[in-house]
Structure formats: structure tokens, C-alpha cells
Amino acid sequence: MHKTRDSFGSKFGAIAALAGSAVGLGNIWKFPYEAGNNGGGAFLIIYIFFTLAIGLPIMLSEFALGRRGQQNAFGTFKTLAPGSKWYLFGLLSIIAAAFILSFYGTVSGWTLEYVWLAISGAFHHQTAEGIHDTFNTFISHPYKAVIWQVSFMVITGAIIVAGVKKGIERYTKMMMPVLFVIVILLGIRASTLPGAGEGLKFLFYPDFSKLTGQSVLSALGQAFFSLSLGMGVLLTYASYIRKTENLAHISLQVITTDTLVAILSGIAILPAVFSFGIDPQAGPGLVFLTLPQVFQSMPLGYFWAILFFILLTFAALTSAISLMEVVVAYLVEEKKMSRLKATITTTSGIGLLGIFCTLSFGPLQNIRFFGLSIFDTFDFVSSNILLPLGGILICIFAGWRLDKSILCDEISNEGRLKFKFFRLYAFILKYVAPICIFVILLNSMGILK
């Protein structure tokens, strides 16, 4: 079975797919508003610290486990820990991926509507209020947002069905470089707006007085979310990486790309927020409310707007593909479905769940769990509970349960590569990362103050 397994055809293809998974709405849509909510520069510092100190070792471990297992998340744990219940963790991560994709599809649907709005010139000569109204009317519409969300899921499914090399790799290789260039250009434009200095100060000046336990948790949740950690995505993709590639290098490249795009997005969005007097705590709508105003003030703004929302859609798509692949790989390999059937099942199931998230901005907005809407509940449970929990379990599995020599073999390509930091890495994996995540989790649940 392993011989005929699809895989990434090149190193660049693997990095594009992995970075494509990491770089997504989390960077462009979520990071700037999380930073805005949590004291800007102080949040950024903690975020980068978590990314390097905890994210990097966990990512490397997921890569090692996935490439060793050569299967979907469930099968990998079954093979690496036979006779144990670890496969349940594999199952949990598959469920978590489905959860995330449900609410991810909602915002991805919004991006498609915004591509359309940009093309039809809807932002032209609009006042700030008009732009607000457009957004609020759209997200609360009884079916418009659902149509876009479902369309987005179908596009994701169409790429997935083509396979790893001909679908995932081929499309992410085209989309990622374009995305990178556009975000740089937008950053340059936004930071030269009048009053932009305020926004840059907000992003980079660390105001630690604004940091709370909750913001530390958000920084950790954001790092996990942004790096696609702890939910079987990296593990599944790693099973398609060739045995000759250097996993440590790939982790570093993916992490650098992801962090750079998050910072660049902050640079593209926050100065504009200040320049136009928008509240940086506007939440999920920030990018949809801010950037249409930036485009109006730019020469060729009409084209920039189209380009940007296409970028956002690409970013969302490459991440959604990775989430869907976790579920599809499981259904194909464990439930013996054809790739087509597995994709149709996944697209319909997650699409349906996502409809509830989408409608929670409109007709279902009164359904609340502990005060949170359906969308916010999905987001909170997955980013702040399931992902950190997945992270701890990866640390326990790779750090304690798995034979160290397996990990070492996989990272060093059976001893062919040097990995100087193995002891530091193993120490962080065994002690520092799980304890850190655990304390933050307890704090978020109010058990530890």
C-alpha cells in the first residue's frame, strides 16, 4: 500500500503546501485583530516566543511522527503505538480539523463575496459607514453568506479530489508566491498612509500593562492556530514528504514564512486602522472593514482590492485544503473509501456544520453557549482548547511514549543529517512545552489564577 501512496514531488512543493496550510486567515484576518485586542507589541513578543519555543519543537515532532507513520493521523498512532489507545488521539485530531474547517469555511465564504464586491466596484466612493453597512448586512443575510461558504467548500473539495501531487501541491505552489508578493506590496502601501505611524507603534511598541492571562492564552492559541499545530494537519502532510528531505529545515522555513506573513499583515492592516479611525478591537470584521477604505485612497485601488481579496481567498484555500486532507486521508485509508467518495462525504458533512456557523451571524445569532455564538464557540473550543490539548498530547507521545531513537532517526534521516540541537529539543518537548501549555490551559479555565 505504501508504494502507491501519493506524495509531494519536490521540496518546494512540500514547503509550499505546508506553508500554505500555516499561512491563512489566521495570519491575515486573525493575527491583526488578536494583536489589536491584546496590547499590540506585547502580544507580538509573546506570540513570537511561543512560536519559537513551543511551536517549533512541536512542529518538528509532528513532521517526524507523520513521516515515520506514512499514514493518516489515526493510522499513524495505531502503527507507532500498537495495542494502545493512542489512536484515539488521532481520531480527536481528525474531529478537531473538521471543527476548524467548519467555521473557517464561513470566513472563507466572506472572502469570496468580497472578491465579487471588489470586482463589481462596490467600495468605490463608499463612506466608512457604507462599508460597515455592506459588511453587516452581508454577514447577517439569511442565505447569501451560506451560498459563498458552500461554494468555497466545493472548490476545496475539487482540489482535494485531484490528489496530493496533482491537486494540493500543484495549486499551493502557484498560490503561495503570489500571496507573498501581494502582502508585501500592501504592507508598503499601508505604512505610507498619513497617520500610519500610530498603527506601527501599536503593533510594535510593547505595552505590557495591557497583557492579561487571557492574552497570554490567546497568543498561545494564535500560535497553534497559525502554525496548524496539534490537529493532525502537519502530521498528515508530513506523511507525503520524501524521506530525503531535512525536516528541521522545513520546520524553520514554514515557521519563518508564517511569522513573516503575520507581521506583514499587521503592517498592512493596523496602520490603516488608525489612519481611518477604526477601532482596532473591531474583531473578525477588521480586515473586511478596514481594507476597502485603504484601497479607495490608493491609485489603482480598484485593482488592489480585487488582488487583495483574491489573496485572502488563496490563503484560506491552501489552509482549508490541509484541513480537509486530514479527514479525507482518514476515510480513504481507514474506511477504504475512494478518494472521490471520501471528498464528497467530507465536503458535505463539514459544509453542513459550517452552515450553522455562518448563520450564527444572522438568523441563529441568539443561540449562545456560555455567551458565545455558534461561530465563536467553534473558534474558542478549537483554538483555545483542542489545539493546545493536541499540542500537549504530541509532546507526551513524542517526548515520553515513543522510543527516542525513532524520533532521532526520523529527524536525522537515519543518521545522514546532523541535528545538533536534539537534546535541547527533547528537553523542551518533554518538560518545557507541555508544562507551559498546561499552565496556560488551567489559567484559561479559571482553575489557576
Report the interface residues with ligand PFF, using CB under 6 A. 21-22, 24-27, 97, 100, 225-226, 228, 231, 233, 319, 322-323
Task: Please state the closest distance from residue 140 (CB atom) to ligand PFF, in A.
Answer: 24
Helix, strand or coil for residue 282?
Answer: coil
Query: How many residues are listed for the chain in this entry?
Result: 449
| Residues of the chain by 3-state class (helix, strand, coil), percent to 5 | 75, 0, 25
Task: Please state the closest distance from residue 243 (CB atom) to ligand PFF, in A.
Answer: 24
Rounded-to-integer distance, Cα 413 and Cα 160, Å: 29
Residue 97 or 327 having the CB closest to ligand PFF: 97
Task: Please state the closest distance from residue 193 (CB atom) to ligand PFF, in A.
Answer: 25
Angle between helix 387-396 and helix 433-444 axes, rounded to 10 deg: 150
Rounded-to-integer distance, Cα 328 and Cα 271, Å: 40
Residue 211 or 233 having the CB closest to ligand PFF: 233
Residue 191 or 226 having the CB closest to ligand PFF: 226
Task: Please state the closest distance from residue 18 (CB atom) to ligand PFF, in A.
Answer: 10
Task: Please state the closest distance from residue 353 (CB atom) to ligand PFF, in A.
Answer: 16
Residue 97 or 131 having the CB closest to ligand PFF: 97
Task: Please state the closest distance from residue 408 (CB atom) to ligand PFF, in A.
Answer: 26
Nine-digit cell at 19? 506553508
Residue 310 or 323 having the CB closest to ligand PFF: 323
Task: Please state the closest distance from residue 137 (CB atom) to ligand PFF, in A.
Answer: 26
Pairs from 175-180 (Cβ < 8 Å, separation ≥ 24): 175/20, 175/314, 175/317, 175/318, 176/16, 176/19, 176/20, 176/23, 176/314, 176/318, 177/16, 178/311, 178/314, 179/23, 179/261, 179/311, 179/314, 179/315, 180/257, 180/261
Kindly provide the residue ranges of all beta strands, DSSP E only, lying in 54-206, ordered along the sequence. Answer: none
Residue 30 or 339 having the CB closest to ligand PFF: 30
N-term to C-term CA, the chain:
51
Query: Which residue sits closest to ligand PFF, CB atoms considered?
Result: 26
Which amino acid, one-letter code, is at 404?
K
Residue 31 or 361 having the CB closest to ligand PFF: 31
